[in-house]
Chain A
């Protein structure tokens, strides 16, 4: 099953080149260049992973992460940054980011993290479904 990824970054050429490389690797890629477009994409689309730039004009990556997690708690988010400080990494992980990478990123390492994100999301969805089924069975006294 093809991994569905949403790439969020304000650099148009970075988005174009990275998304092309991801498509070559069999991923289905959507892109968003502004925070408004990103929020719309998150609300309207279904993705296995979101790759998000930490420094965006307007709403920064940490604020965007909060918005994503509020709307889609199971969404796995990988943050990309030009300057990976320990403090920023810790804050991002506390807010629920799956991982944190420094630009320029190695495509193979990024692809591996995206696949892990897909697996983690599938597991979360399975666990939720299992719980729902158990709750229904319990209600019926089975």
Chain B
């Protein structure tokens, strides 16, 4: 699945966490569609008994179903992209797309902690790397960082190229982020020859990957 020889179990754990989150979101989508479809059925029964149907309510309910189908489709597309990230060990990837995907896949995790995730201002950043490994590392860093934050915080992640590689930055307005002591993240970073450090000037966490990963 990936070139991460030290932690195939960690890779599975990451995939399992994301799969569990996705399956829960899809269940929520089904639950909304179930009630909306049932409500349309109720309107029909009421109409048969001579009660008028409110067209605005009917339209709102139909739109609810369509909206949830769009939502479900996006969730599945993201999951599919994660699944296909294991097709090859390493390839040329555009990291802004990887970042956008992992933020989308991690949003529910942040929501449950009553925090938010955002993709910050990025620059086009290509790297020859295993997309699965990068997503696993980013997900681990996001999870560990969220554990240090408070309700209402907005964690912004961005990526840009540097001379010898790339840098992902994690930031929260007005805060100095702590270095994670999560061993799985540390091991993954070491395997990928990545470094994680605090930028003392702006309080950002910086994850650096070299050109040869």
Chain A residues with CB under 8 Å of chain B are 11, 13-14, 16-18, 20-21, 24, 55, 57-58, 82-83, 103-105, 107
Contacts and interface: CB of A to CB of B under 8 A. Distances in A.
Given A13-B64, A17-B35, A17-B64, A103 B42 contact: no
Interface residues of B, number: 25
A83 B36 contact: no
B28 A11 contact: yes
Nearest to A11: B28
Contacts of A24: 39, 42, 46
Contacts of B12: none
B31 A104 contact: yes
Given A57-B111, A57-B112, A57-B114, A21 B27 contact: no
A17 B39 contact: yes
6 contacts: A11-B28, A14-B31, A14-B35, A17-B64, A103-B34, A104-B30
B117 to A, nearest CB: 13
Contacts of A18: 35
Contact of A21 (B39, B64, B67): B39
B112 to A, nearest CB: 5
Contacts of A21: 35, 38-39, 42
B64 A55 contact: no
B28 A14 contact: yes
B179 interface: no
Contact of A13 (B32, B46, B57, B113): B32
- Give the top 10 A-B pairs by smallest Cβ distance, nearest first: A82-B27, A104-B34, A17-B35, A103-B31, A104-B31, A18-B35, A14-B32, A13-B32, A58-B114, A24-B42
